[in-house]
């Protein structure tokens, strides 16, 4: 099996494409740790994966709205595995019409979708470096192309409507993924971002506007199984072994917005993010 003896962490894996990603990596032979915000959903996900695969998986609970919880997640993962072959940064929060702040006082969607995986990846770098080869898979979205585009001087999105903060966070995901690839050049760790497609799942249920959209558009949307395919491809396929700094959709290279390739903006986001998370 392709993933035999590989150790993987999939965040946001208690349902949706994260759950499918984790299940399929287990089926391919990997030892998988899954993360989610809800302990109850996590237990259900573990039971489902174990029932369908006959293999054991471990769940670690953590709310990405808290950087302290992210640090605790990293500690628990670090204490339980000798290395990490794959990190799938899948957890995220959908668009909202209401501006909220995280437990650390940051705009909620930016905090959950960018700062949390940024910090988690940093904290797990030693475990990734301990693997013969390792992959970081960052789940972004085509929504990064929606206006208004990313503003490095307004990371908390105080100048735009709350509904647009999701697009900003997904833009940040690609900037981070590319900058991580550059900073890890010469190592055995790759970093790639992806657009999974618009998925028929529970994602977006927190906000009325997105809940209504997902309800009525459901017949036109991808199933979680279809949406997870690019996650799984970047995590496991031999075709992308050693490839880094890419953006993918439907299991093939795609073109992100040209502004995501701005090296200076990516560097500034990295440095500002370090200060925000206390690295």
Residue 199 bridge partners (DSSP): 222
**What's the distance, CA 111 to chain centroid?**
13
Structure tokens at 139: 């789940």
Cβ atoms of 61 and 39 closer than 8 Å? yes
Q: Count CA within 13 A, CB hemisphere, residue 19.
A: 23
Measured distance CA(184)–CA(118) in Å, rounded: 14
Q: Count CA within 13 A, CB hemisphere, residue 223.
A: 3
Instruction: Out of 166, 214, 233, 248, pick the active-site residue.
Output: 166
Cβ atoms of 96 and 207 closer than 8 Å? yes
The answer to whether residue 233 is catalytic is no
Q: Which residues are catalytic?
A: 166
């Amino acid at each position: 099996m392709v993933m035999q003896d590989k150790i993987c962490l999939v965040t946001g894996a208690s349902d949706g494409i994260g759950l499918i990603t984790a299940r399929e990596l287990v089926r391919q032979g990997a030892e998988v740790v899954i993360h989610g915000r809800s302990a109850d959903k996590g237990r259900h996900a573990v039971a489902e994966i174990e029932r369908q695969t006959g293999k054991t998986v471990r769940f670690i609970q953590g709310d990405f709205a808290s950087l302290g919880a992210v640090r605790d997640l990293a500690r628990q993962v670090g204490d339980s595995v000798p290395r990490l072959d794959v990190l799938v940064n899948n957890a995220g929060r959908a668009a909202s019409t209401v501006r909220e702040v995280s437990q650390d006082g940051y705009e909620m969607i930016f905090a959950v979708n960018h700062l949390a995986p940024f910090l988690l990846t940093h904290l797990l770098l030693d475990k990734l470096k301990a693997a013969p080869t390792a992959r970081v898979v960052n789940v972004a979205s085509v929504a990064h192309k929606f206006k208004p585009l990313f503003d490095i001087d307004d990371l908390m999105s105080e100048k735009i409507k709350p509904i647009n903060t999701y697009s900003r966070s997904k833009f940040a995901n690609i900037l981070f993924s590319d900058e991580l690839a550059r900073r890890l050049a010469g190592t055995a760790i790759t970093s790639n971002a992806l657009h999974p497609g618009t998925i028929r799942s529970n994602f977006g249920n927190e906000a009325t506007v997105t809940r209504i959209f997902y309800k009525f558009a459901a017949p036109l949307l991808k199933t979680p199984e279809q949406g997870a395919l690019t996650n799984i491809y970047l995590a496991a396929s031999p075709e992308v072994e050693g490839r880094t700094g890419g953006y993918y959709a439907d299991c093939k290279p795609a073109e992100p917005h040209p502004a995501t390739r701005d090296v200076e903006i990516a560097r500034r986001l990295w440095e500002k993010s370090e200060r925000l998370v206390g690295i």
